[in-house]
Amino acid sequence: MGSLPAMQRSRSALVSVSGHLAFIALLTLVGTSVGPPSFESQLIVGELFIASRETEATPPPAPAEPIAEPVAEPTAEPTAEPAADPEPSASEPEAAPPAPAPPPPQQQAEPIEPPERTVEPPAGPDAGERFAEVPLPAIEAAADEADGPLPQVAEGAPAAATEAEAIPLPSRSLASSEQQAVRRRLSSWTGSLDSATGTTLEWRDDGQDYTAVLKHVPASDATGMEQLLVELTTQRDGERLFAELRMNRIAFSNFAQFIDRWDPNVQLHDDLIDGRFHSNSEIRVSRESGAHPVFTGKVTVAGGDIRTDSGDIRTVGSGYLNRRTMFPAGLETRVRRIGLPPRAAAFDDGAVPADRVRRIPSDALLTFHADGSFELLALTGGAAAENGALGEEPFYIVADEGVDLRVRGIVNGKVLVYSPEHILIVDDIRYAADPRDASTDDYLGLVAERSVEIEEPDVTGPGDLEVHASIYARNRFTVRNYRSRPSGTLIIYGSVTAGSVSATEPRYATRIEFDDRLTTMRAPGFPLSDRYELDAVTDEWRVVAQ
């Protein structure tokens, strides 16, 4: 079909315009008289404007290929309107986007599509609804979102360092079999230690190689405990793994009772040992009905076993003692031996201030008083008594060679009494404060190279005898005249370490109750063993750089 002449097209356009103007006038009369024209009237005006321009265009433009959407220049600041209005059209076909061009390196925000920026509504029967759904984003907000939120960095620290600190160090689990291997090797280590460079141990267990470097950690003071820092390493699956452990050096006061050589003529009878017990040799216990020893702590024996006067203890059977009831905390035999040091003195004279040491030149009676003072009375020569004060810091009362000391009283302070010969307990020795209260700080060590002895019955008197102390008798702990008539109970609250022990009955039944404070503390300069015990086994390796 052909096109109309130019005059006819002009008339048609005039008629169409007149008709539309009349329709607008009618809508104006029936519509509201206040406020801006309605959204529908704006659409109609837009249609009239478009129609008039179409009728004036001669000849109509040939259909063109779809024009690609404009892409914003990377350096141009975005504006609210396009730079040039596109040729309006009543029904413009959707343009197929060309292959996207790679954005410039500094341009991070995606191009803002023109339909979201134009303020003119699209044409069509549902133009109103479509226009209402189209957002008009603010340019500044779009730019901020494209750049992303600014990182929050602590003052003075770069962002990279802050992120690194938030990442936990890599770790790997320490298998139960590895824990057992470490415990077997380190749980009870005995050996010399190079305090300058440490000692290195290496072993292989179940195809796995381990290296442990042991480093000495000195005690904080004269009453503290020494430690070993253990740096344990191994390789697994191409990774180097590291764990740090702690070992505590055992003081002899860590045991309620420690015996180096058990006297075969002595039996544990009606005794209570409340705490750890260790013997380097076989021990003997009574199996009399209704009278047998009670051990509340773990019992370890290095050489031999536990025996009665008629043979081994049996686990079942009438007339025999039951291991499970006698050793409720466990019995371990044939463990490694813990040797006594050649010399009991565990303090360095040169390291102790002169005003914290009192030397005793002859046999003397030492009496402690509850106010923290003490009195020394020489037993020969008729010299007058001398007085002194323990004070807050550790104090040392040291006898010269060949001098015996007799001790009694109430101790208020931290003190070591040392004799190269004998120490004799002549009466009760108690702490000024209740030692069962963990906050108290009274400690007494009685250390003798030869023996610590309980004096004759006519000196100590009848009844119970109570001693609060850590006792170390390098040779023997003895109850004098133990065959005398029954007197009561010998109560020792603290610990007893001895090369050997005498019998105590019938004069005394014996009760040794461990002072729990001695687990982590000790009397000043109290002797230390060469044994270290593992404090705990970690359950985790840390991965370190190769």
Please state, in angstroms and rounded to a whole number, the distance separating the CA atoms of residues 168 and 83: 53
Residue 96's pLDDT is 47
pLDDT confidence tier of residue 195, bands split at 50, 70 and 90? low
Residue 418's pLDDT is 96
Contact criterion met (CB below 8 Å) for 497 and 473: yes
- The share of the chain scoring above pLDDT 90, in percent, equals 42
41 pLDDT more than 50? no
401 pLDDT more than 60? yes
pLDDT in tens, 216-235: 898 888 899 889 899 999 98
Strands 414-419 and 395-399: parallel
Higher pLDDT, 106 or 252: 252
15 pLDDT more than 60? no
Q: What's the N-to-C CA distance of the chain in angstroms?
A: 87
CA 418 vs. chain centroid, Å, equals: 40
Higher pLDDT, 395 or 53: 395
Question: Which CA distances in Å does 398 have to 374, 447, 525?
Answer: 14, 10, 12
259 pLDDT more than 60? yes
Contact criterion met (CB below 8 Å) for 544 and 241: yes
Residue 165's pLDDT is 47
Low-confidence winner among 157-161, 332-336, 437-441, 507-511 (lowest mean pLDDT): 157-161
Please state, in angstroms and rounded to a whole number, the distance separating the CA atoms of residues 153 and 157: 7
DSSP-assigned letter for residue 196: T
- Rg of the chain (C-alpha set): 49
The secondary element (H helix, E strand) that includes residue 164 is: helix 159-166
pLDDT confidence tier of residue 471, bands split at 50, 70 and 90? very high
Please state, in angstroms and rounded to a whole number, the distance separating the CA atoms of residues 381 and 363: 10
pLDDT in tens, 150-167: 334 344 444 444 444 445
Please state, in angstroms and rounded to a whole number, the distance separating the CA atoms of residues 452 and 445: 11
3 state DSSP class of 311: strand
Please state, in angstroms and rounded to a whole number, the distance separating the CA atoms of residues 69 and 502: 108
529 pLDDT more than 70? yes
Please state, in angstroms and rounded to a whole number, the distance separating the CA atoms of residues 449 and 297: 27
Please state, in angstroms and rounded to a whole number, the distance separating the CA atoms of residues 290 and 287: 9
Higher pLDDT, 81 or 437: 437
Amino acid at 230: V
pLDDT confidence tier of residue 119, bands split at 50, 70 and 90? very low
DSSP 3-41: PPPHHHHHHHHHHHHHHHHHHHHHHHHHS-SSSSPPHHH
Question: Which CA distances in Å does 5 have to 2, 8, 56, 302?
Answer: 10, 6, 13, 128
Please state, in angstroms and rounded to a whole number, the distance separating the CA atoms of residues 163 and 151: 10
305 pLDDT more than 50? yes
pLDDT confidence tier of residue 170, bands split at 50, 70 and 90? confident
Higher pLDDT, 162 or 201: 201
Residue 74's pLDDT is 46
3 state DSSP class of 488: strand
pLDDT confidence tier of residue 361, bands split at 50, 70 and 90? very high
Please state, in angstroms and rounded to a whole number, the distance separating the CA atoms of residues 260 and 280: 5
Alpha helices in 411-543 (DSSP H): 457-460
Residue 338's pLDDT is 92
pLDDT confidence tier of residue 277, bands split at 50, 70 and 90? very high
211 pLDDT more than 90? yes
Of 435, 436, 453, 457, nearest in space to 444 by CA: 435
pLDDT in tens, 64-96: 444 444 444 444 444 334 344 444 444 444 444
127 pLDDT more than 60? no
DSSP-assigned letter for residue 104: P
Residue 451's pLDDT is 97
Residue 35's pLDDT is 47
Contact criterion met (CB below 8 Å) for 225 and 518: no
Q: Answer yes or no: pTM beyond 0.75.
A: no
| Mean pLDDT for the chain overall | 75
7 pLDDT more than 70? no
pLDDT confidence tier of residue 392, bands split at 50, 70 and 90? very high
Alpha helices in 39-138 (DSSP H): 39-56, 127-133
Higher pLDDT, 289 or 101: 289
Low-confidence winner among 87-101, 313-327, 468-482, 489-503 (lowest mean pLDDT): 87-101
